[in-house]
Amino acid sequence: MPIFSYGNCIGWMSPMTLLLQSKDSPTSVPLTDIEISWMASLPYLVCVPATYLIAAMGDKFGRKFALLFMSTVSALIWILKLSSMSIWAFIAARVLVGVVMAGSCVTCPTYIKKISEDDIRGALGCWGALFFTTGSLFAYIIGDILSYHGILLVFAAVPVINFLVFLLMPESPSYLIKHGKDEEAAKALIWLRCRMQYDLTVQQEIDFIKEEQRNDESKGKFLTKSILTDKTLFRALALIAALARELCGAVPVLNFAADIFRLASDVTGLVLRPNQQAMVLGAVQLCGAAMASGIVERSGRRPLLIITCLVSGLSMSVLATWFVLNEFNISPPGWIPVVTLCICIFCDASGLMPIAVVIAGETFSYKYRGTVLATTMAISSFSDFFQLLFFKSLTKTIGVYVAFYFFGAMCLATALYVFLVVPETKNRKLEEIYNDLWTKKEKKAMQNRMNGA
C-alpha cells in the first residue's frame, strides 16, 4: 500500500498537469511550464538525501516505524493539496513525494526481503513494481472520472488506511534480533511463517540471522568504508550500480511518450487524448510488472534480465531508426513507434525495474542493505532529475535518434554484462553469491587456505 500510494503521487501529475494549466484550473492562475517542470522533477532531487534519512531511520528505529512514517508523509501530501491552492503548497507536497519515493525504494524492499521465505522472496520483491504501476494506472483512471477534490480525498484515504492496518504487522525479525529481542522475533516469525510455537524451523532461522549479524559485526561500524574497502562488497555494489535502469532510457522514454503518440497519430489517424495515452502506457507497465512477479521464481533473475534487456535494446534501436528515416523524408509504418514504445516500457516493468531491486536485496546482508539501496537510489534519482529537466532540449540539439540509439546500446550492453558478470541469486545464500564474485585467483587462494587448515 505505501508503494501503491507512491504510484498515486507520480501518476497524479499526468491528468492534473492539463487541468492545472487550463483556464479551468482550480488555482487562481494557471500554472506555467516552468512551475510544472519543477513539480515533476523535484521529488527526484529530494529523494537523494531522503534515501539516507529513511535508511538511517529504519536502522535506528526499525523498518515498521519507517514505513509508518512514510504513510504519514503520504497523507500529508494530499492534505497540503486539499488545504491550499498556492504554488508553494504544491511545491511542498512534491518535496514530500521525494521522501515517499525514498521509502518505496529503500525501506519497502528491505522489509519485504526480511519477512519473506526464500522460495517466494523474488516474487514478493517484484510486487513493488506491480503495485507502483497499479497505483499510477489508478491515478490515470480516476483522474479522468472524479473531480479535482474527489481525487485528492481518495488518494488521502490510501495512506490513512495503510497506517491503521500496518499497526498490526510485526517488526522485521532481523531488527528485533539485532536489538536483543529474541522472543519478539520468534513470535514475529511464527506469525509470518504460519508456524506452531516451538517450531524447529523458526529457531533455525533465528540462528541463521544471528550468524549473519555476527559476520557483519566483524567488518566494522563504518558501513560505507567497509563496502568500499572490502573487495567482495565493493564488487557487489558495482554490480548493483551497473543494473540501475536510468541509462537504459526508461524515464526519458516515458517522458517522450506523448510526442511519439502525436507523431504516430499523424500517420495512422489514431488520436488519443494525453490521459488516454497515459492509461495505455500504465496498462502496459502493469502487465509487465505482473509478468515479472509471476515468473521470476521459475525463470530466475538472470534469464529474465537478459531477455528483457535484449528485447528493450532492439526495440529502442528500431525506434531510433524510425526517427532517422523520417529525417530523410522516408515514411515508415506509423505503428512502429507506438509498438516499440510499448515493448520498451513492458520490458522495463518486467525486467530492470523490479529485478534490480530484488538482486540488490539478495546480494547484501541486513547490515549493508539499507545503505546500498539508499546509495543506488540516490544515484538513480539524481540522474532522473537532470534527465527530466534537460532531455527534450538535448534531443533537439543532437537529434532524438542519437539518444535512442544510445539507450538501445546501453540496454544491449546491460544484457551482455548480466550474462558475463551477474550471478544468479535465486534461493541462494550470501556466501554462495559472493563466491561467484571472486576471481579465480581468490578462489584458489581460499582453497589453499582451507586445505592448509
pLDDT classification of 156: cutoffs 50, 70, 90? very high
Does a structural domain hold residue 25?
yes
Q: Are 208 and 335 found together in one domain?
A: no
Q: Is 451 domain-assigned? A: no
Alpha-carbon span 114 to 205, nearest angstrom = 11
Shared domain for 140 and 197, answered yes or no, is: no
Half-sphere exposure of 217 (CA within 13 A, CB side): 7
**Residues 56-115: tens digit of each pLDDT:** 888 888 889 999 999 999 999 999 989 988 888 888 998 999 899 888 888 888 888 778
Task: State residue 259's pLDDT score.
Answer: 60
Q: What is the pTM of this model?
A: 0.73
Grouping H, G, I as helix, E, B as strand and the rest as coil, residue 338 is: helix
Number of domains comprising the chain: 2
Residue type, 356: A
Q: Which of 218, 251, 276 is the last residue of a domain?
A: 218
Q: Please indicate, yes or no, if residue 440 is contained in any of the structural domains.
A: no
pLDDT digits (tens, 9 = 90+) for 318-368: 988 988 888 888 877 777 887 888 888 888 888 777 777 777 777 776 667
**Residues 195, 287 within the same domain:** no
Within 8 A by CB and 6+ apart from 145, the residues are none
Q: Could you tell me if 154 and 185 lie in one domain?
A: no
- Whether residue 224 is contained in a domain is answered as no
Q: Is residue 299 part of a domain?
A: yes
My answer on whether 33 and 66 are in the same domain is yes
Q: What is the mean pLDDT of residues 305-317?
A: 89
Residue for grid cell 554484462? 417
- 173-191 pLDDT, tens per residue? 888 888 888 888 888 888 8
- Residue 368 in domain: yes
Look at residue 277 and tell me whether its pLDDT is greater than 60.
Answer: yes
How far, in whole angstroms, is CA 259 from its chain's centroid?
25
We report the CATH number of the domain holding residue 163 as 1.20.1250.20
> Are 241 and 205 part of one and the same domain?
no
DSSP 96-112: HHHHHHHHHHTHHHHHH
Question: Is residue 193 located within the same domain as residue 242?
Answer: no
Whether residues 349 and 292 share a domain: the answer is yes
| Inside any domain, residue 438 | no
Q: Which of 218, 250, 278 is the last residue of a domain?
A: 218
Confidence (pLDDT) at 418: 82
Residue 165 has pLDDT above 90, yes or no: yes
Residues 8 and 95 in one domain: yes
Average pLDDT over residues 293-321: 84
Q: Are residues 40 and 108 in the same domain?
A: yes
Give yes or no: residues 91 and 238 share one domain: yes
CA terminus-to-terminus distance, the chain: 51
Looking at the structure, do residues 162 and 190 belong to the same domain, yes or no? Answer: no
**Per the domain annotation, does 425 fall within a domain?**
yes
More confident residue, 264 or 291: 291
Domain that holds residue 209: 174-218
